[in-house]
Every structure is written in C-alpha cells, then in structure tokens.
Amino acid sequence: MSKENTTVYILLGLLRHEPMSGYDLKKRIDLSVSRFWDVGYGQIYPTLRTLEQQELVTKNSGERSGGPDKYVYSITEQGRDVLERWLRQPGDREYTKYEILVKLFFGSSMSPNENIARIQDFRARQSTEFNMMGRFKDSLEQVMAENPDHLHFYLTASFGEKIYRAYVEWADEAIALLERKGTAIDPPVQSEESAQNETPNEADC
C-alpha cells in the first residue's frame, strides 16, 4: 500500500470544504471516508506538517480556553490545484485483505463447527456495518430529495450497503454449506450463537 499517498488528498478534500484542526479532521474521517479509507492520528499530524511545508495548507492558531493549543488548517490555492489534479487522474486502485478467508482457505484441519464460529463472527461484524449503512443511506435519500448536493456521499453509502450485504449473504451461504458437512459426520450441534436472522435487515439495532 505504498506510493501515491491517498491520505494527503483526504485531508485536502476535507479542508477544501472547511478549515479544521487535526482533531476535527479525524472526527470527520471517522464519520465519512473511514469505511473505505481510514486514517489515524499517527498519520494526520505528520501529514499536516508536510502539507504546510509544501504550502498546500496554512496553519493558524484557533481560539481555545484551557488545554493544549488548537490549530486550524486551511487549504491554499495550490492545495486546491493539487487536489483537482489528483481527482482527475485515472487508474484508481483498491487494496483488500481478508484474514478470515486466509484462515478458511487453510481451514481443512479445523472442524466444521470451528469454521462456522469464525464465519458467524465475521457475519456479526458486517451485519452491524450493513445496518449502519442502511440507516445512513435512508437519511441521505431524504435529504437528497430537496438538495442533490449529497449525491457523492450517497454513492459511497450505497457502495457500503451493497458490499456489506454481500458479506452477510456469503456468510449465510457458507455457514449453511458447513452445517450440512457438519451434520453428515457429527451429531447436529447447535451453538448458542446460531440464532440467525433470516434477512440481514432485521439484525442488531
């Protein structure tokens, strides 16, 4: 995941909308892009410094009573140019790594029930995300009816919803396959976690 530092453009993109502190940037990221590109404090502060050195952002001290100082960063014209150039540049890449699939792939020495438990864990995590994305998408849909400005946010939310649904659907199918295999050998052991919802929608709320 080296080369072509995307973090830089995330910070520029958020600052183009509104000047912010490093802390604020992190909060914004957690509420928006983090699902498809997460950035931690350990990257934000050093990156802001190099952006300042390159004059793509300016650092201004913001008012604050007590505690450490607060610094507000604003994007410069140069920063906007750099961002625009990147946005127009083709050849996007995606990086996906799934530990669970590695374990499943090599999991022939595990019992079906062990593999099922692992998948159920995965399912639970993705189901939560799926529900969050769904609520998100719904509220954006309502907002968009009056104001189409949120379309780009909506597109990313619908991406999330689609992918998380696919995760959950796969998990259910995989569990069903392994359960068939399990009952063919073992007595039908019902683990207490296998109280599954028929549709992903009804899960945790």
Contact footprint for its own copies (CB under 8 A)? 1, 6, 9-10, 13, 16, 32-33, 36-38, 83-84, 86-88, 90-110, 114, 117-118, 121-122, 148-149, 151-153, 155-156, 158-159, 162-163, 165-167, 169-170, 173-174, 177-178, 181
Question: Phi, psi (5° rounding) for residue 60?
Answer: -130, 140
> Which member of 17, 53, 68, 187 binds DNA (CB under 7 A)?
68
How far, in Å, CA of 35 to CA of 4, rounded? 19
Residue 96's binding partner among DNA, its own copies, none (Cβ under 5 to 8 angstroms by kind) is its own copies
**Does residue 24 belong to the site contacting DNA (CB under 7 A)?**
yes
End-to-end CA distance of the chain: 34
**Does residue 40 belong to the site contacting DNA (CB under 7 A)?**
yes
Cα 30 to chain centroid distance, Å, stands at 8
> Buried (b) or exposed (e) across 153-164, using 16+ Cβ within 10 A?
bbebbbebbebb
**Does residue 170 belong to the site contacting DNA (CB under 7 A)?**
no
**Does residue 90 belong to the site contacting DNA (CB under 7 A)?**
no
Nearest to 32 by CA among 146, 112, 152: 152
Site residues for DNA per CB under 7 A: 1-7, 21-24, 27, 38-43, 45-46, 48-49, 64-71, 95, 97
